[in-house]
């Protein structure tokens, strides 16, 4: 994740778009194998968050809790979310990752929606399709926060 933000170990290296796309796919797959329930909350006070249906379908339960440094990059800082939306908004892995992380998470959902709306506002009309498609996917998430989104 830090490599894609040019914050990784070693000197900054300019990567090709296709290589970053593969990196984003691997990160998406790894994160969707983790337990992010510590970041989830129901919109209904007193109710537990609904189970996340967007994890890896090959797993019956998450492999491990998400590492704190990964959670900080993904959920606290907005730079990685902005980067994947900007670089890879039409990737299926990006859609899977964002739906997984937005599930029962109003703060992350707000970050994603803000970035998507910014991209829509400042993109040329011929560039809008991937952002609008991704926006639709986020708005169609059927968790307890759907009407709030």
Greater pLDDT, 73 or 16: 73
List, for residues 30-80, the tens digit of each pLDDT value: 999 999 999 999 999 999 999 999 999 999 899 999 999 999 999 998 999
Domain ranges of the chain: 17-139
pTM for this entry: 0.88
Sign of CA dihedral 15, 19, 24, 30: negative
- CA distance linking residue 27 with residue 67, whole number of Å: 13
Position 10 scores a pLDDT of: 58
């Amino acid at each position: 994740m830090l490599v894609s933000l040019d914050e990784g170990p070693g000197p900054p290296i300019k990567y090709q778009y296709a290589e970053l796309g593969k990196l984003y796919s691997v990160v998406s797959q790894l994160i969707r194998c983790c337990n992010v329930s510590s970041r989830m909350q129901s919109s209904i006070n007193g109710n537990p968050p609904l189970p996340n249906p967007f994890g890896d379908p090959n797993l019956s339960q998450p492999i491990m809790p998400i590492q704190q440094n990964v959670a900080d990059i993904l959920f606290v800082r907005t730079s990685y979310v902005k980067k994947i939306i900007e670089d890879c908004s039409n990737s299926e892995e990006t859609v899977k990752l964002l739906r997984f992380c937005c599930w029962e998470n109003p703060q992350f959902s707000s970050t994603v929606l803000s970035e998507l709306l910014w991209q829509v506002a400042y993109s040329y009309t011929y560039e809008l399709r991937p952002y609008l498609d991704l926006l639709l996917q986020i708005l169609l998430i059927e968790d307890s926060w759907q009407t709030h989104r």
